[in-house]
A and B are shown apart, each in its own frame.
Chain A
Amino acid sequence: MTKLWVPELLSPAGNLEKLKIAVNYGANAVYVGGQKFGLRSAADNFTMKELEEGVEYAHTRECKVFVVLNSFLHDEDFLELADFITNLDRIKVDAVIVSDIGVIQWVQEYSSIEIHLSTQASCLNAQSAKFWKEQGVSRVVLGREVSIADAAKIRQEGNIEVELFVHGSMCIAYSGNCIISNFTQGRDSNRGGCAHSCRFEYSIAPKADPNKRITNFFMSSKDLNGLSLLESYRDNHIDSIKIEGRMKSNLHVATLTQVYAKALAHLQIEQSLGETNRDNLLSECEKIGHRAYTTASLISPADASSIYDERDGEEQSFQLVGNILESNENFLLVEVKSPFYIGGELEILSQDGIVRTHMVRSLQNFYQENIEKTRPGSLAFLNPLEGACKADIVRQRVL
């Protein structure tokens, strides 16, 4: 049977471990940051050696690696940039994600790496896309304000690849157009120092009537979830769908990558996801920490319903328990990240796409001594589970 075309699935990878998770759980491409030049300074990020290992790991599994260089660079940064770019070229990264025309020039001068335009550059229309294409950009990561229909138009008129966010936290400002933390905290948000001031509670009053105060999280955005519009992404030929979250947990990366990989695999065969399938996948999205979901501007401009009027706190129904280091007929060896108990029920998020329930009937340490409860930073030997594999993610319901 001929398979239908579907977009590339692009997942975040904040460090080497997450890169491997994203690759194992079905990403077609991952985006990563080096230790400098990429906006998420607080993410773990990659040393050059780790990047090299990551690229090799991904490439042998037919997954591409894009490196973000989307900080607004200061002059001093350029001293190290040439070396960094040359090294990226040497280790054969597939593309760099850039927001600055000066950086584009340097990438072209020092390498033959493909260039994608970062969402930081707020490319919102076909005219912009055409300009960036002339500058040598092969793909534009469109602003989160762009609808799927407009993205298709930009792709066609601009004759350029388009990448559109499909899931994750959202900056409520036009990307690159919020410098609140620069002035309130002395941290440059366009260089990874955003203090998330948009998530704070504000009390708002007319200047003339300060007593008429309303207290509200008026500028906090709900999280994007475009799963229910995935057919539209495909039908409009959006080249790549992007999951936000280089700072997010292993569980987050695994869950979302798997959800979208499954959905895309389904859409290669069927016209539509179908109600049951969609509901199942949407319920998986509920299992990770997130704010209330919105489709933001994917169909029409985001309105009041896209505001998250609550204190920011990522409540989640499931938590990461650990990852499987070994699986055989005798035991499951788990590296423990959060405690669980004998008699508890775990879920194994398997890389083959199946979510397996696992009752903890036996819980031992290396010396085969029974334990009641595990502790983070330890290893636990559990009763075996057929189908569970090395590197599978283990989670449990939060009580």
Chain B
Amino acid sequence: MTFIKKCTVAVSSQTEFLFYQQKGGHSFIIRTALLSRMGKMTVAQADELIKFISSHGEMVIIEWDILMEQVSFEQASARFSEWLNDLQKSSTQLEMRVQELLAMYLRKNNDPHIKIQLNLETGHRNLPSIKKHICYLGEQLSRIMLSFELSKDKLQLYRRELKVPLEILFHGRIPLFYSPRKLLSPLDTNQEQDNWIERDGESEESPHKGFPIIENRHGTFMFNVKELSLVDVYSELSDIGIDYLRVDLNSFEEGEQFKWFEQIELVLDSSVDFTQFKREYPAEIIRGFYSVNKSSVLFEKLKNKFLQHDDETYIGDVIEVSKPRHIAVQIKRGQLLIGSEIFYMTPEGKRIEVIITSILNSQRDNIDVATKGDIVFLPYKKSLSAKSTVNQSY
């Protein structure tokens, strides 16, 4: 059987832990309702589970990924410090999985020896930023969770450039949205217990049906309709040298969770065809941006280059075209002289050269020169539209 290399999973019970341990699981994430977006365990329950995992000689990762305003941060950090003190008294092998600001907080306010796994899944898709974090956390940093929006090329580049262990989401739900506001409970008065409401959402923006939405004490979370799965590129990821692969099947009940984990293993073992796995898996699965990420290409919407005013020749803008009588111009820079040669540039890029034979001001007086701020009326020229620019020909 192929074990997933340094497989990282979240566990919420002893059974789950024993199952994944036997499957070669390498590190075990503990999610509490106090600190984790998707955490359900109380600190006492987590404490018990951590001790159980430690007694089996395994490493425990406490996840803290909720964002907190001043008061909730003060409360949670006080509670956490107390808990951490207790845990450190026992010989627990412990690491913290946090986002950047908490990492800095932990570094400053707690045991500087506690290892930090830095969660950079949201944003931070550039090397200067990641390197800065690595530099800041130094020896205390034990791994970085990279964004699930990175393409294969980027993963290769980051592997080459970053000298720290790297983790990515290998299979699981894609988080899309995190709001501190409670968005589901106002819709339904028959709420479930424990501050935990789960719904499926269907957007009018077809064809997006079945977004898993969860509201809990930390706010509202939405996941993508499709789950991420890089199972079929497992060997590529191994070649790239990604150190840790995270499998997140925690939205399933225990039995289902184990079943699908084993199915993934069978795919890796070539005992089950990936297409078959894909067909049978309860949610549609995608590779996300693994092959290529072009999500920003469309949005480098630059100004129409024909209407840019960076050129030294720019004098002003056409503000009215009165066919066949005149062209009204607002002078924005420099001056416009009678007899001078100018050219109009249309939004479509058409250049129209003219010699200024007459300039009228708004009182219909003939003038020889117009300066910045003036509104002037020039002889009509066809093919022009408002928004064309007026430029000096040198």
Contact = CB atoms under 8 A, between A and B. Distances in A.
Given A101-B129, A124-B73, A187-B295, 5 more contacts: A49-B309, A74-B125, A105-B132, A218-B187, A379-B375
How many A residues touch the partner, as a band? 35 or more
B349 to A, nearest CB: 17
Contacts of B320: 335, 377-379
A122 B188 CA distance: 30
Nearest to A179: B176
B220 interface: yes
B356 interface: no
A223 B180 CA distance: 16
Residue from A147, A180, A195 with most neighbouring chain B CB atoms (10 Å): A180
Interface string B315-331: 00001111001101010
Interface residues of B, number: 85
Contact of B73 (A125, A198, A202): A125
Contacts of A183: 174, 176, 224, 226, 288
B64 to A, nearest CB: 13
B105 interface: yes
Interface string B131-175: 111000000000000000100001001000000000000000010
Interface string B325-353: 11010100000000000000000000000
A302 B181 CA distance: 6
B197 to A, nearest CB: 9
A207 B200 contact: yes
B126 A78 contact: yes
Interface of A: 35-36, 41-42, 44-45, 47-50, 72-75, 77-78, 99-103, 105-106, 120, 122-128, 131, 143, 145-147, 150, 153-154, 172-174, 176-180, 182-184, 186-188, 190-193, 195, 197-198, 200-207, 210, 214, 216, 218-219, 221, 297, 301-304, 306-307, 325-326, 330-331, 333, 335, 365-367, 377-379, 381, 390
B301 A41 contact: yes
Contacts of B74: 125
Given A41-B300, A301-B180, A366-B364, A204 B330 contact: no
Question: Which DSSP category, helix, strand, loop or mixed, fits chain B's interface?
Answer: mixed
B122 A188 contact: no
A330 B319 CA distance: 21
B386 interface: yes
A304 B69 contact: no
Nearest to A180: B176
A131 B101 contact: yes
Given A125-B73, A154-B70, A304-B182, A35 B302 contact: yes
B255 interface: no
Given A36-B300, A74-B125, A200-B205, A174 B180 contact: yes
9 contacts: A101-B133, A102-B129, A125-B74, A128-B101, A145-B180, A183-B174, A210-B200, A218-B186, A325-B319
Given A78-B128, A102-B132, A366-B377, A325 B122 contact: no
A326 B126 contact: no
A304 B219 CA distance: 12
A365 B364 CA distance: 12
Contact of A147 (B69, B100, B131): B69
Nearest to B326: A366
Contact of A193 (B132, B186, B296, B363): B296
B375 A202 contact: no
Contacts of A74: 125-126, 296
B183 A146 contact: no
B14 interface: no
